[in-house]
Structure 1
Amino acid sequence: MGSLSRKDSARYSCNISNPVSSQEDTFYMVVTYGPENIEMSGPKEVQVQTAFRLSCSAESIGNYLKLEDKAANTENPEERVGQRRSEREWERLYSPPSQRDGATDRVSNVTITTNTDLVEFNDTVRLSCSASGSSPLSFLWFNDSVEVTASDRVRITDGGAALTIVTVLRYDQGRYTCNASNPVSSSSSSSEGLFVNYGPEGVSLTISPSAQYYGQGSVVSFSCSADSRPEAQFRWFINGEMFSSTGAQINLEMEQSGNYSCQAFNSKTLRYTSSQPEEISVLSKNTISFVHFSSHSFVIKITPL
């Protein structure tokens, strides 16, 4: 900064932040100037032993104005009160804004409260931020260190202390933090995880090896997958009939073909989604032996009757 002028008197602050927190410090600079435009006023004529008042004013910061009152009665109580008032005003002028406004308590105890177990397309979530410290307090919200701003579904209210997301989507989930600040400091909350349950969707049945026909001695693996939070539970169907197995051999009395499919279920969203059926063709009447069976996959071995 080059030559200073009285207009440079201001509060200067520096804010340093990283992905998890930020700190701010403030410097108050007062540029002294004057005195100039000095004006003095008082009575033009006075009688002996009569109290009188002289006043002096000037544009100045940096020095007290001093007035030598040579009147016969200089112990006027009103004049002394006026002098004390000027001193208090001078202290008010020089004190930092944080002290003048009473904002002397640093920000602390920043916390977030919210409901973190949500269902996509169903729920609306509200996050509230609270903090200790002198007013005025201001708030900023972050999701994985990216600032959250208002939009069609995102509302920031209560002076910034409340964040509402309407009809949550899976893309809203993340680690949310709140930064609270006042004129003398700032502090961030610990992160709060927001989790959105969704699905199941994209249910897919995979059969390996893939073949047009399966003959005697073939070993076939079936697996089912789905995009879901939490992980989906699966049920299996042959020709539309649900079946299960603990690994024992089962005679399905299946002749040449059967349609296999799987169905995924999400215990949080309470939604079911089924895969497209896959046809298995067998050359002759055989027994289907379950070699391995789990919630999302199984292996069969085809043997003759």
Structure 2
Amino acid sequence: MAMVKVMGAQPIADYLFTLTCDTAGTIYSIHWKRNGWPLYADNRTDFSMDNKTLTFNSVQHSDNGDYQCSAFNPMSNMTSPEYRLIVNYGPERLVIMSPDIAMTGHTVTFNCSASSQPPSQFSWFFNGSQVATGSVYETGPLTLASREEYTCVAFNNVTVRNSTVSKMLTVIGMVYSIHWMRNGWLLYADNRTDFSMDNKTLTFNSVQHSDNGDYQCSASNPLSNMTSPNYRLIVNYGPEMPVITGPAIGETGHNLTLNCLASSQPPSQFRWFFNGSQVATGSVYETGPLTLASQGEYTCVAFNNINGRNSTASKMLTVIEAITSVMVKRNKIPISSDNLTLTCDVTGRYDTIYWMKDNRSLVLNNTLNSDITISNNSLHFSPVKVSNDGNYQCVATNLFGPHISPKYQLLVNFSVVIGSVITVTLKCSADSRPTSEYGWIFNNQSVLGTGPMMSVIASLENAGDYTCVAKNPVTNISMSKTISLNVTGHSPAPPFLSRVGLMLTALLALSLCL
């Protein structure tokens, strides 16, 4: 048998309070629940090493509830009966309800209330002398001498605390008329408010938060008139239907934030549920990295702890697989008059793909693009032409939106025939003091020579990467830069030179800074 028991003193707000799980036999683990929900340690509660003891470092009446402990071993488990925790507190928020002004010959009833557990005991004092006990004090017929301070003292015999509040009663002679004002304007009866025959009482048949404001009453007779201090009326209401704001669609691997808003006085407290299980408290809920299992219904429950009302709103979240990469890839080196295919390589699920050229959507139904076709996720040039040069991008879309690839610059190589021998001159320059020493390397292996310029015969065997290395002979700092020479041709016809060799002697400048 498991039983929840109190250790030490009874629960008093703001003081240490301890519950223990009393069990018999060998116990391997103990778990605690409050109102049927698992209980975890926080900044006000602690568990002992063996979980037998639950300690509230500063127990509050918000900790009220039904507590249970469950004990487990390999053979069996036991759950205790519910222990109803009612925290003793107060007295707090002591209030005297009574008229501010009364006439001689009349009686006045004072009502004293306080938030307290257990309910407080009350004493009344007038001019320092006790005149009554109990929460209600009714004066005898008033005289002008009754115009003084009335004091209510509330006492809690469990917490051994007391609280005091006082109120001034103004006593006047015969009142001829009473008027009411709200926010400085005269108040008249309507379909929701009524006045008593003598205008002493203002009744709201159905008070609304639109009635909030500063209320005063004015009493007058032929000799004088008096106006009460402002009474600030704040009507508790709500929560009205909450509204959840936030995206309806999320991508895997990304976080997502949902906000819950509800009109309420005082402001509501919020709890979040996912597919029926509580996942967070507070008006804002931020998910961790989403997975496909994160898809479902998210519910916000708003609760007003004054009027005890709650209201609920739900939102469906759709989670789709994220697009993590979009790249344009080519199937071969672009050469004029050859066919060429650009492929949109997408990592992740997508719905549609479209193409862009030079930051604008690619239009195929014109003369300039008549040789371009699209199939699946590929762009086909049949054949590719120099006029097709430009920056190409593909855009993969899903429910979350467009995902744009980096720009791929298409430069179409084309060939010209200029004699039987074509020479390409490469020039390397570097900012340096003193003047740099230069060396040339071919395809990262062969050392070709020295000096800032290098002449190369355009032939198939000379196609490749040419690297210039500049070295400052004083600082010994070296820097390098590489350029690629592409040569096409068919023996025994004269060689065909790519874009880099359109001149008979092409001067290719490589600039370095030392």
TM-score, normalising length from structure 1?
0.49
Q: Kindly name which structure, 1 or 2, has the bigger radius of gyration based on alpha carbons.
A: 2
Question: Quick one: higher RCO (CA 8 Å, sep 6+), 1 or 2?
Answer: 1
Higher helix share: 1
TM-score, normalising length from structure 2?
0.30
